[in-house]
Structure 1
Amino acid sequence: MKITKAQLVFLFSFATLIPTLWGGGGNIADFDDVWKRRADQAWKNTLAAYEPSPENVTTKFNENVHKALVANKSNKTKDLEGGDDRRNLRGKHKKYTGPCMATNPIDRCWRCRPDWAENRKRLTQCVIGFGHRTEGGEKGKYYEVTDNSDDDPVNPKPGTLRFAVIQKRPLWIIFAHDMHIKLSRELIVQSKKTIDGRGANVHIAHGAGITLQFVDDVIIHSIHIHHIGPSKAGLIRDSVDHIGLRT
């Protein structure tokens, strides 16, 4: 089967977790040597991550969905046999103490474990679909976002999301508390990053969006992204050692 770049972009656009996103040079005013090297590496990573058998991926995905539904049905039966549908009795502010009812196979993989917060990186074992080889920032340290501001896209402050995503090393990014982040310019993410919003209510909204361009191994999970508008043109730092003009 002949593989084209267009086909790969189409396939990966359906991956919940993104192993490689091959961009087409959009919004880059000066396609300099840095971007050329990123493009070449991204294409190599795309070929390495490509799954030649869509049937195998689909079969595995369906198996995981089936297992989740069977387990969920079993838990519902146990609740009913006990005469206690606890989901309906917990009230607005009461913590649910019944069995795990997650049916999404990715969520069920981690959400049903009471120790998920102590073992966040287990999320990489939950990947299914065309992005099943994604590692994100698994091999890196944790980085906690403590500041929701985004005032300077050229020199972002430590503690901000922008400062975290431009680092060239793997990072598993978490959030200190609930946040509403309004991006002043598009957020250009470097490779091998996990943006993990679990445990906090994190919204990226009413500003610019997230750009994954010529990167590999990026996981974005449990982040609310909405009301995104067009980004303004201008200089943006896309890594710790590179600033580029975006159109």
Structure 2
Amino acid sequence: MRERKNIRPFPSIRNSTERRRLGFFSCVTGNPIDDCWRCDPHWQLHRKRLANCGIGFGRNAIGGRDGRYYVVSNPGDDDPVNPKPGTLRHAVIQEQPLWIVFKRDMVITLKQELIMNSFKTIDARGANVHIANGACITVQFITNVIIHGLHIHDCKPTGNAMVRSSPSHYGWRTMADGDGISIFGSSHVWIDHNSLSNCADGLIDAIIGSTAITISNNYFTHHNEVMLLGHSDSYRRDKQMQVTIAYNHFGEGLVQRMPRCRHGYFHVVNNDYTHWEMYAIGGSADPTINSQGNRYLAPANAFAKEVTKRVEPNARLWRHWNWRSEGDLLLNGAYFTASGAGAAASYARASSLGSEVVVDGRELLLQMPASFPAAGAADVKFSIPPTLRDVKTRSKFFLPL
């Protein structure tokens, strides 16, 4: 599919002007996630409402909504087996649901991978929080996780060490690859409003039967293999994987895998692709890829104009894979090689947003300028609900519901 100068919305894609007229959102940024929580001028006093703002396949991730607040006040990570109260590691390993916030700006350099427990929200809004120059985040065999507002970069391989994963368990960890966020056998995961760059392996990898994932409003830069979705071509449990990739900015210094899919169903919708060196979207084991309303700006290299890449070289095999482009804006010679069925019914399991949310690529360009201000932490002071201030509890780090 070659560059089109006059883009009209497809029948299933509405523009934001129509959505405003129909009154879908009270605040009109065109971004349904931001419209859900940023419209509240006192959102910092109602932080947990963020859990109701998810979209896509990971929309049911509630994180720590039903638990207490936990205030991270110490950026240290001196002992991965016996983490100190007040550290991020101590927060994420707890058994109970927790909504984790940060008392101040901090740079956290992890000695070993940060192994999360289920029903946790990491909410860095109001603080400038970096996880950098060490190990990074592992989401392994758990459920209901929200990660919001972090700067994750310069992650390094670590391992061959003991690491605690819950208050009652620690164990030997072999070498980790150095991913920014590694999702392993987990479900109901929402990764939103983070910046990720320059890690040893992938920025985000989801493998081993992970599903019900939304990756939204993130800013990706300066990395080779950005995102891998699927363990291997022979790992058939990933056939049930469903991932939404929405409202992200794929920016400068990126090479490939935005994402690279194996099995499963992938809704790539309303993203801004301004840089790639090899390709943007790749696949290898008959994934279903539904590309809607994205902006693809091809690089100057005449040999890298194609958005897509099939790792399978035999066209007689991949021509049956269901890959479609609908309402995408293809610029500077970018082209999307479609294959398989074109009918909407063939993409039902790779469709995660209603037609009132999806816009065409031209409208996306108006909503999301190249600077992509939606990505990153919100610029407000740290705050927790006033009912939680001055409350005496058994721990100064755990606050009541």
Q: What is the TM-score with the length of structure 1 in the denominator? A: 0.60
Match of 2:101 among 137, 160, 174: 174
Match of 2:35 among 105, 108, 127: 108
Structure 2 CA distance for partners of 1:101 and 1:138, relative to 1, 3 Å: same
Q: CA deviation at 1:70?
A: 5.6
The yes-or-no answer on 1:143 pairing with 2:70 is yes
Match of 2:142 among 206, 215, 220: 215
Contact 1:209 1:228 in 2 (8 A): yes
Structure 2 CA distance for partners of 1:153 and 1:118, relative to 1, 3 Å: same
Aligned-residue identity in percent? 56
1:12-38 superposed Cα distances (whole Å, 9 cap, x missing partner): xxxxxxxxxxxxxxxxxxxxxxxxxxx
1:126-148 superposed Cα distances (whole Å, 9 cap, x missing partner): 00000111110000000000000
Q: CA deviation at 1:233?
A: 1.6
The yes-or-no answer on 1:162 pairing with 2:89 is yes
Contact 1:102 1:112 in 2 (8 A): no
Structure 2 CA distance for partners of 1:116 and 1:190, relative to 1, 3 Å: same
* Matched residues, number: 160
In the other structure, the counterpart of 1:203 is 130
Q: CA deviation at 1:108?
A: 2.4
**C-alpha distance in 1 between matches for 2:100 and 2:169:** 21
**C-alpha distance in 2 between matches for 1:137 and 1:225:** 21
More helix per residue: 1
Q: CA deviation at 1:125?
A: 1.1
Cα RMSD (Å): 2.4
1:54-82 superposed Cα distances (whole Å, 9 cap, x missing partner): xxxxx7xx77xx559965xxxxxxxxxxx
Unmatched 5+ stretches in structure 2: 1-11, 21-25, 175-401
More strand per residue: 2
Match of 1:230 among 150, 157, 165: 157
In the other structure, the counterpart of 1:190 is 117
Higher relative contact order (CA 8 A, sep 6+): 1
Q: What is the TM-score with the length of structure 2 in the denominator? A: 0.38
**C-alpha distance in 1 between matches for 2:16 and 2:142:** 32
**C-alpha distance in 2 between matches for 1:148 and 1:68:** 44
Q: CA deviation at 1:107?
A: 2.0
**C-alpha distance in 2 between matches for 1:187 and 1:110:** 28
Structure 2 CA distance for partners of 1:101 and 1:150, relative to 1, 3 Å: farther
Structure 2 CA distance for partners of 1:69 and 1:177, relative to 1, 3 Å: farther
In the other structure, the counterpart of 1:152 is 79
1:166-197 superposed Cα distances (whole Å, 9 cap, x missing partner): 00000000000111100100000000000000
Contact 1:68 1:105 in 2 (8 A): no
Structure 2 CA distance for partners of 1:102 and 1:197, relative to 1, 3 Å: farther
Letter in 2 for 1:193: K
Contact 1:68 1:102 in 2 (8 A): no
**C-alpha distance in 2 between matches for 1:225 and 1:67:** 31
Letter in 1 for 2:145: V
1:140-169 superposed Cα distances (whole Å, 9 cap, x missing partner): 000000000001000000000000000000
Letter in 1 for 2:48: K
Contact 1:68 1:108 in 2 (8 A): no
Where 1:212 maps in the other structure, the secondary structure is: strand
The yes-or-no answer on 1:129 pairing with 2:53 is no
Q: CA deviation at 1:202?
A: 0.6
